[in-house]
Amino acid sequence: MTIAVTLPDPEKLVWWRDHLRELLPDHHINNAAEISDPQTVRYAVVWKPPEGLLASFPNLKATISIGAGIDHIAADPQYPASVPVIKTIGPDMTQRMCEYVALHVLRLHRQLPELQKAQTRKAWHQIVTPTAPDRKVGILGLGHLGCHVARTLTALGFDVAGWSRSGAAPDGVTGFNESGLNRFLAQSEILICLLPLTPETKGFLSKPILEQLPKGASLINAARGAHLIEDDLLAALGKGQISYATLDVFNTEPLPSDHPFWTHPRVLVTPHTASLIDPVSGGKVIAANIRKLEAGHTPDALTYISRGY
């Protein structure tokens, strides 16, 4: 039995392949492009696989995404829809996302950008901010990561609401379903996007959505770059509808050097590091899920591309 591994970055591919070989010594683990007999492949561990690659493995039992998202797999029109996809979700990745969002919510809440500007002017600029219970934070998407982030922010004292299809939310978090989107947006002073990327959510962060936020609201996007209409955000920043944006994901990655986000005074760019996965932490989760599958059990993170996430 063979496990195929593919990533766009050749160095990272080798890193993942070699580490998985250590974790799963009883399996043949190879670079997908170097596999001579596609019929031996039972599992594929992938990030942004080439179109048609996974369909070329006739005996594929499951595809493992190197990350919590499956949009990069669903984007392949040739992907065999009957083959399940396993998302890689583990405590390290969840903790990293919670840290990232808490850091940037606090940065915006306590108006750190304004204090940094004052420092450049050598100005003793004391800003009185509300306490966390008086700051309304909204989370788009209450999946695994969204729920953990919501609990983290609630523990810090913030007034947290979340929006999802069902409206279900953790204790202490106000839940809004699809019909409550307008009310949810109208109260979100800091909006966090943690939505899965599906055809319905692509371009979701657009002018009509941004205009429903309170004037001067802030945005944090740690989901996917394709959720955001970049020109709409730039326009909203220009007229003060959005005061600040923290962006970890972009339509084109790496972000081109001439992109206006790099130099915009009200945009903080981070290079897709919010919940960065590595072979040490992610490999353990992937190896455990493959062992579950081989033992006839179903991993908690199993899904199908027909679901979208």
Residues serving a catalytic function are: 224, 272
Side-chain half-sphere exposure of 295, counting CA atoms within 13 A: 9
Residue 59: how many other CB atoms lie within 10 Å: 11
